[in-house]
Structure formats: structure tokens, C-alpha cells
């Protein structure tokens, strides 16, 4: 029987859980798991089963446990007098880390080491331990998947444990961590008053915290559910705002106001993010010399956060070698370099985070976190991860428990490699831009967009030329388009050149080359892009074609050129046709291919074909799906920025915000609105369609504030 059980455990390491079936199905106890606070399922890696009555344990990798066949394997007998021993690790296999216990018969130095199958030592530690049982964690760092050996030496005696690593790498933090003395059976077998054995079940899943079901006396047919929460704190409860007191050295460098912290706390919020320009606390032209007066402004914000019960997150909005926004004044040549490729910028970046780590080393993790760099752009995931890892290591060398947030590349998709690193993934929820950035003066062409509506029609605003693979697909409408139908398209902005072709079935009904340039022309506004050395003029002009014979398809394609945007397409049927006209206002932004739509006789438009790989972008209800998926793997997600600029109509703003707030609340995602006082915020926003209420010398958008407080 012992050999049979041992074989089962060996097989459990090599086969997926679905391969296991117990012969005694009538005596099974089953398990499942969810993420705490939600109904979303979590996949169990393994369960440590401790029979408290018999003081024995075993590890199972199936979602069921057979009471008849397993009272527990004696992997470690928890006797009154410890014996030198090492218990089976759990979970096994594991990805980021695994735990195990050792027994020490008398106080002495114990040496631990881990080796690969070639005999190479990868990590080790020594610890003076008293008599008893002790728990350790092994982090796997960037090791490849495979078999490893843990060796434990006590005096002249040694024990070895074979372990199995699976899954993604966990970063460059490999090694042992001592977690303290353990006493699984309280040194004595548990006493129970009924015939059943008492158990403790400890569940393991990804990088979630372990969950324990204790003092359980199970019966056949019982089902138990573990509730897992991420190892990182509780950012899902963070709700607050971005404060811009050191946003840029040119025009926003006055420091922070204690009044803001007082008001934010009074209004019921608990979080602020500080997007900071490194030039506000360094010597001009020298990013390696820190200026105390500039840093003291940040000190005050951290102190006020602690005083008013507000978590503070420091973010490098302009980091050495990178910012999403161009500087207001020219950078010195030594600083006009790329963080992603320049060694000096990368060294400075790490130095800044090392400085912040040491400066605030005594501030608890519950009060302060670090957000590495704002909105990385123009870099691929792997290059970004490589640069960020150096900063992460510098921070954790000083303050291992500090919570670290990372914005996503282009703010679009999660980065799975960050899950085992315990990094809080921080997207910025501004899509669709036509809603959130209408008439924003820093967004080229946004003053020519049509006034936003919500909910939107899932039609991309861009039509791309042949160079923009895979986005260069035609916009196609399928329906009934009788002879005499007029087709209108309002061409909004053209980049470099676009040859637009409109067809009814296969017949061209409109064709034109749009070539923006300097001076006067068909365009309303000349826009020259210095970065690309091209013109991207605003036309904001309607062009038309007529259907000459009955057609079932109308298509819009860029046969040549870069890209164009449109603000509206109208299909106007002939009088007497009995058909209703079609009015399509695009609601989706950059980086999406056009697709096919069905037009009903009532003028309703519906997506016919969603482009593969872009499903969540075309489903306006699915924008959170990628983030929920990474959360189900154990990651924490926090929306570091979101909001709607002040020119979007107030009713549209509130409707959009409520949808977003409800979705984030349901998913367990905290948020920081951009901003508190200003064009996105509930105070002093300057909106022309709001009846403000006075609040402590400020103009409060009470409807927006009520909405934010509701969620």
C-alpha cells in the first residue's frame, strides 16, 4: 500500500490533475476555489492535507480526496521530539515559489542549498535554528522548468528533497526565505469527540496567498471551497485621485497642498497617485544630483498621506530617458536619450528608485507604493521588463515588502511575466478616446471630432493604408442599397496621403486622393508632424457617391497611403424605398482594423464579423476581460489613471463613468481618477454644463462626486 501511494504522488507530479480518478468515488471529498470577494473560479495547483488526528500529511494535486484510501501518508511524522527531516514541498510542481518544512532535533546551524540536475549550486543559506519544526520558502527566480534538488545539512547529517518547477519564471529573486517555526499538530495529536479524523486542508493556487480550512471533520460527499487572495495587499480598495503638484518642471512644480489630502479624506477616498517629473527634484542638467528642497515636497505628501489615512503612490511620469509627453523645454543632450536603450539613463532610473526606497524605508507598505514609469511607449514587452527588473531588484533590496506598480506597454494589455514577480499591473482606462479626450488640446485633431455619445457604435474611426498591416482592412456594409442611394463620408483627418475608394458591390462610386500639405487647400487646418516630417491636416469635409444600380454591399478602402479618420458615414436611401437612412458615428480609436457590418432596413447597424485578436476592442462590454484573466492567475490590477475631459457633455460623461465604475467594482479593481481638481476631476473642472456646488472654496461637480462615492 505504501508503494501504491508513493506511486500516486509521483504520477501527480507528471500528469495533469484531470488524469486522476479515485477507485473509492463513494468516499470522495471534493474541492474548488474562488478569488476572494468575487465568484470567479481559481484553478487549484495542489492541496496539503494534514490529518490532525493521526499527525500525518500528504499532498494531492487532484480536486478530490478519498477518505477511505488516504488517512494521510507519513511524509513527516510530527512527533513530540523532532527528528531531522524534510517534508514534501507544497505546491509541487510550482512556478514562482514553494514551501517546505524541516525538523531539527537540537539547536544548531542548518545549511540549505538547491542544485540543478547537473549538480550546480543555484542558491543557499545558513540559519541558526532551535529544536523544532521550521518552514521555509524557496523562490525559483528565472530558473527553467525542470527537476531540482533541495539539500539540508544538520551537523554531519543531510537530507535531500526532489522538487519539480513548472510554469513561467519568477524574476531574478531566487533563494530561500525563512518563515518561522511551525507546529502543524501542536506537537500532539488533535483530540476529537467523534469517530471521524480531523483535518487541515491548505490550498495552493498560482501566486495567490495560501488558504487554510482548519479543524475540518469531513464526510463522504462533502465539498469545500478555498477563497484565495493575492499575496500583495489590497489595492482593490484604493479609490482616489492623481495630484499634479510636481507633474512637470515647466508649469506644475509648486508641490502639494495639505488641503487636498484633507478634502480627499473627508470625501471618503483613500488613495493618491503622484505623477512626478524627475527634473523637479534633481539639479538642472544633472539627473544624478538630488535636490533636497524638491524631495521635501514629496516628503510632505507622504507625511500628509499618513496623517489623513491616504495611501500615497509615487510615480515617475517623466523618468530619466523617457516620458510619454514631449518636454516643455529642451533637454540637455546628455538627457535627451532613450531609457530603453541607453545605459546611463537605465543606471539613473535605478538610482532614483534606490534613492526613494532608502528615503522612505521606514514608511510601511500599507502607506506607500511605487509606480515605476508612466505609460511606456515605443518599446516591446521584453525590453520593458528587462529595464523594469533592475529597478524592482533595487527597491526590494531595501524594502522587500514595498508594493510596486507597473504601467503596461501602451497601456493596453497585461504582461504575464509580471504575475510571478508580485507586480501590481496598472492599466490606464481611457478608451475610447473619442469619449475621454474630446477636444483635449494635447490630442491632435480632437477638436474636430463629433460630439461624443454613449454607448458608442463599435466602429473604428481610422481607415488605414496598405502599410498598416493588419489594420488595413476595408469597412464593409451589408444590406439593401437600391439604385439612387447616396453614400456620404465625412473625411476628418488625413496623414501624409490616402487614396480612398468607395464601392457599391464591385462598382466604384467615389474615388479620391487626399494629399495634405502646407498653405490653403481643401483642408480646414494645417497640421505638420515634426516627428514624422509629414502633414496630417484636418479636412472635416463631406464627400459623396451615388449607387447607380441595386447593391448589397458598400465598402470603404484606402488603396494607398498612411491613414485617415472619418467622423460620420451616412447612407441616404431614395425617397419611396421604404428604407430608413443610416448614420454611423465611429466610437473606437487607434490600432483596430475595420470590419464588416450588417445594416437592417430600419437603419440599425450591427457588427457582422469581429476581427480575430481584437474581440475585446469591438465588444464594448469586454474591455476588462484581459485584466480579469490575469487577475485569475493571481495578479493584482489597479487603474492608475482614467477619466473624461471636460468638453465631453456632462450626461455622456456620467453615463460612461458609471459603466466603468461598476465594472471595476465588480472585478475588484481600484482606481485613481485623473485628476482631483481640474479638467477631469470633480472639483474646479471648468465644465460649462454643470451646476456646481460650493465646497470649501471650490466648485464641486456634485453629480460626479456622488457617482464616485457610490462606487
- Model confidence at 183, pLDDT cuts 50, 70, 90, reads low
Tell me, yes or no, whether 210 and 143 share the same domain.
Answer: yes
Q: What is the pLDDT of residues 598-628, one digit of tens each?
A: 999 999 999 999 998 888 788 887 889 889 9
pLDDT digit string (tens) for 514-540? 999 999 999 999 999 998 899 999 999
List the beta strands (DSSP E) in 243-382. 271-277, 282-283, 286-290, 311-318, 368-371
Chain segment 342-362, per-residue pLDDT in tens: 999 999 999 999 999 999 999
Q: Which of these, 208, 51, 52, lies nearest to 60 by C-alpha position?
A: 51
Query: Do 204 and 326 sit in the same domain of this protein?
Result: no
Q: What is the model's pLDDT at position 406?
A: 95
pLDDT of residue 69: 65
Per-residue pLDDT band for 501 (boundaries 50, 70, 90) equals very high
Residue 498 β-bridge partners:
514, 561
Average predicted confidence (pLDDT) for the chain: 88
Per-residue pLDDT tens over the stretch 145-178: 788 899 999 988 888 888 888 766 655 578 999 9
In the structure, what pLDDT confidence band is assigned to residue 390 with cuts at 50, 70 and 90?
very high
The C-alpha atoms of residue 541 and residue 557 are separated, in whole angstroms, by 18
Q: What is the pLDDT of residue 411?
A: 62
> 261 and 349: one domain?
yes
Query: If you search the block for the grid coordinates 499634479, which residue do you land on?
Result: 244
- Does residue 628 fall inside a structural domain? no
In what order do the strands lie in the sheet containing 132-139? 85-86, 97-104, 132-139, 175-182
Q: Is the pLDDT of residue 134 over 80?
A: yes
Q: What is the pLDDT of residue 640?
A: 97
pLDDT grade, residue 502 (50/70/90)?
Answer: very high
What is the domain-level CATH number for residue 344?
3.20.20.80
In a shared domain, residues 512 and 461: yes
In a domain, 438, yes or no: no
- Residue that finishes a domain, picked among 196, 228, 260: 228
CB 94 within 8 A of CB 165: yes
Domain boundary among 618, 653, 668: 618
Beta pairing class for 534-535 and 121-129: unpaired
With respect to residue 441, please indicate whether it lies within any of the assigned structural domains.
no
Residues 369 and 408 in one domain: yes
**What local confidence, expressed as pLDDT, does residue 70 receive?**
53
User: With the CA atoms of 80, 74, 149 and 19 taken in that order, what torsion angle do they form, in degrees rounded to the nearest 10?
Assistant: -150
User: Of the candidates 172, 64, 564, 576, which has an alpha carbon nearest to the alpha carbon of residue 395?
Assistant: 172
338 and 363, same domain (yes or no): yes
Q: Is residue 629 part of a domain?
A: no
Instruction: Check pLDDT > 80 for residue 368.
Output: yes
Residue 355: per-residue pLDDT: 98
Q: Closest by alpha carbon to 450, among 432, 431, 434, 433?
A: 434
Spatial separation of the C-alpha atoms in residues 157 and 105, rounded to whole Å: 11
Residue 117 scores a pLDDT above 70: yes
Stretch 670-691: mean pLDDT, rounded? 97
Q: Are residues 458 and 605 part of one domain?
A: yes
Q: Which one of 171, 201, 228 terminates a domain?
A: 228
User: Where residue 250 falls among pLDDT bands split at 50, 70, 90?
Assistant: very high
* Together in a domain, 412 and 497: no
Handedness of CA 476, 481, 483, 487 (dihedral sign): negative
User: Mean pLDDT throughout 74-87?
Assistant: 64
- 218 and 239 inside one domain: no
Residue 643 predicted with pLDDT over 70 = yes
Predicted pLDDT at 168 = 62
Q: Are residues 46 and 81 in the same domain?
A: yes
392's grid cell: 524592482
CATH of the domain at 185: 2.60.40.2550
User: Are 264 and 141 within one domain?
Assistant: no
Task: Read off the pLDDT band of 10 (50, 70, 90).
Answer: very low
SS (H, E, C) 133-187: EEEEEEECCCCCCEEEEEEEEECCEEEEEEEEECCCCCCCCCEEEEEEEECCCCC
What would the pLDDT profile of 424-471 be if each residue is shown by its tens digit? 999 999 988 889 999 999 998 888 888 899 988 899 999 999 989 999
Task: Report the pLDDT averaged over residues 44-50.
Answer: 85
Do 143 and 46 reside in the same domain of the chain? Answer: yes
Contacts within 8 Å (CB) and 24+ apart, 293-300: 294/246, 295/359, 297/245, 297/246, 297/255, 297/256, 298/246, 298/274, 299/359, 300/255, 300/256, 300/258
Residue among 452, 685, 696 nearest 587 (CA): 452
Q: Can you give the residue range of the structural domain that contains 123?
A: 2-228
Summarize the confidence of residues 378-405 as an average pLDDT. 93
Is residue 50, in this structure, part of any structural domain at all? yes
Using pLDDT thresholds of 50, 70 and 90, give the confidence band for residue 68.
confident
3-state secondary structure of 265: helix
- 231: pLDDT strictly greater than 90: no
Q: Is the pLDDT of residue 190 over 80?
A: no
Which pLDDT score is estimated for 563? 97
Residue 550: its pLDDT value, please?
A: 97
Residue 255 in this model has a pLDDT that exceeds 90: yes
What is the number of structural domains in the chain? Answer: 3
Q: With 70 as the cut, is the pLDDT of residue 666 above it? A: yes
Determine the pLDDT at residue 90.
83
What does the pLDDT average to over 656-675? Answer: 95
Amino acid at each position: 500500500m505504501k508503494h501504491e501511494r508513493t506511486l500516486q504522488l509521483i504520477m501527480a507530479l507528471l500528469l495533469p490533475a484531470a488524469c486522476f480518478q479515485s477507485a473509492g468515488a463513494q468516499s470522495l471529498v471534493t474541492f474548488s476555489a474562488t478569488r476572494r470577494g468575487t465568484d470567479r473560479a481559481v484553478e487549484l495547483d495542489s492541496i496539503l492535507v494534514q490529518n490532525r488526528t493521526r499527525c500525518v500529511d500528504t499532498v494531492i494535486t487532484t480536486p478530490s480526496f478519498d477518505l477511505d484510501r488516504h488517512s494521510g501518508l507519513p511524509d513527516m511524522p510530527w512527533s513530540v521530539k523532532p527528528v531531522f527531516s524534510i517534508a514534501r514541498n507544497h505546491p509541487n510542481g510550482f512556478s514562482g515559489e514553494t514551501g517546505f518544512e524541516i525538523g531539527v532535533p537540537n539547536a544548531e546551524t542548518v545549511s540549505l542549498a538547491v542544485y540543478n540536475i547537473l549538480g550546480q549550486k543555484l542558491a543557499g543559506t545558513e540559519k541558526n535554528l532551535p529544536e523544532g519544526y521550521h518552514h521555509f520558502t524557496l523562490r525559483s527566480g528565472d530558473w527553467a522548468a525542470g527537476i531540482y534538488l533541495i539539500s539540508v545539512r544538520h551537523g554531519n547529517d543531510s537530507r535531500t528533497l526532489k522538487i519539480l518547477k513548472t510554469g513561467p519564471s519568477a524574476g531574478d529573486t531566487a533563494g530561500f526565505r525563512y518563515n518561522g517555526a511551525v507546529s502543524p499538530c501542536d506537537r500532539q495529536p488533535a483530540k476529537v469527540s467523534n469517530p471521524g479524523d480531523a483535518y487541515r486542508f491548505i490550498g495552493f493556487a498560482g501566486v495567490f496567498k495560501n488558504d487554510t480550512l482548519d479543524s475540518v471533520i469531513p464526510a463522504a460527499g462533502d465539498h469545500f471551497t478555498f477563497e484565495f487572495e493575492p499575496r500583495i495587499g489590497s489595492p482593490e480598495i484604493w479609490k482616489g485621485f492623481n495630484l499634479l503638484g510636481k507633474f512637470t518642471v515647466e508649469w506644475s512644480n509648486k508641490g502639494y497642498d495639505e488641503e487636498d489630502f484633507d478634502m480627499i479624506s473627508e470625501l471618503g477616498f483613500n488613495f493618491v497617485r503622484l505623477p512626478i517629473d524627475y527634473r523637479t527634484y534633481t539639479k538642472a542638467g544633472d539627473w544624478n544630483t538630488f535636490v533636497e528642497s524638491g524631495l521635501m515636497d514629496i516628503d510632505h505628501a507622504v507625511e500628509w498621506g499618513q496623517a489623513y489615512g491616504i495611501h500615497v503612490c509615487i510615480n515617475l511620469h517623466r523618468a530619466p530617458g523617457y516620458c510619454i509627453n514631449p518636454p516643455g523645454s529642451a533637454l540637455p543632450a546628455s538627457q535627451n536619450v532613450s531609457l530603453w536603450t541607453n545605459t546611463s539613463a537605465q543606471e539613473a532610473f535605478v538610482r532614483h528608485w534606490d534613492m526613494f526606497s532608502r528615503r522612505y524605508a521606514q514608511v510601511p507598505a500599507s502607506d506607500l507604493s511605487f509606480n515605476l514609469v508612466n505609460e511606456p511607449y515605443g518599446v516591446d514587452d521584453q525590453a520593458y521588463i528587462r529595464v523594469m527588473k533592475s529597478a524592482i531588484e533595487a527597491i526590494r533590496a531595501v524594502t522587500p515588502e514595498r508594493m510596486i506598480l507597473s504601467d503596461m506597454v501602451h497601456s493596453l494589455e497585461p504582461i504575464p511575466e509580471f504575475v510571478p514577480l508580485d507586480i501590481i499591473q496598472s492599466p490606464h482606462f481611457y478608451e475610447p478616446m473619442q469619449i475621454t479626450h474630446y477636444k483635449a488640446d494635447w490630442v491632435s485633431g480632437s477638436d474636430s471630432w463629433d460630439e461624443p455619445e454613449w454607448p458608442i457604435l463599435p466602429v473604428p474611426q481610422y481607415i488605414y493604408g496598405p502599410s498598416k498591416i493588419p489594420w488595413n482592412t476595408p469597412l464593409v456594409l451589408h444590406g439593401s442599397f437600391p439604385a439612387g442611394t447616396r453614400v456620404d463620408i465625412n473625411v476628418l483627418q488625413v496623414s501624409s496621403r490616402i487614396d480612398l475608394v468607395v464601392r457599391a458591390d464591385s462598382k466604384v462610386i467615389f474615388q479620391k486622393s487626399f494629399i495634405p500639405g502646407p498653405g490653403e487647400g481643401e483642408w480646414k487646418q494645417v497640421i505638420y508632424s515634426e516627428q514624422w516630417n509629414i502633414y496630417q491636416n484636418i479636412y472635416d469635409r463631406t464627400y459623396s457617391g451615388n449607387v447607380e444600380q441595386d447593391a448589397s454591399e458598400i465598402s470603404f478602402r484606402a488603396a494607398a497611403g498612411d491613414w485617415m479618420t472619418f467622423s460620420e458615414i451616412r447612407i441616404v436611401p431614395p425617397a419611396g424605398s421604404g428604407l430608413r437612412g443610416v448614420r454611423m458615428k465611429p466610437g473606437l480609436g487607434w490600432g483596430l482594423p475595420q470590419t464588416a457590418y450588417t445594416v437592417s432596413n430600419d437603419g440599425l447597424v450591427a457588427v457582422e464579423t469581429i476581427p480575430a485578436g481584437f474581440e475585446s476592442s469591438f465588444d464594448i462590454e469586454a474591455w476588462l476581460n484581459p485584466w480579469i484573466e490575469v487577475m485569475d492567475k493571481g495578479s493584482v490590477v489597479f487603474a492608475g489613471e482614467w477619466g473624461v475631459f471636460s468638453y465631453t457633455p456632462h450626461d455622456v460623461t456620467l453615463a460612461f463613468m458609471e459603466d466603468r465604475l461598476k465594472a471595476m467594482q465588480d472585478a475588484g479593481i481600484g482606481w485613481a481618477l485623473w485628476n482631483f481638481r481640474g479638467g477631469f476631476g470633480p472639483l474646479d473642472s471648468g465644465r460649462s454644463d454643470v451646476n456646481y456646488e460650493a465646497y470649501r472654496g471650490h466648485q464641486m461637480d456634485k453629480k460626479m462626486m456622488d457617482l464616485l462615492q457610490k462606487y
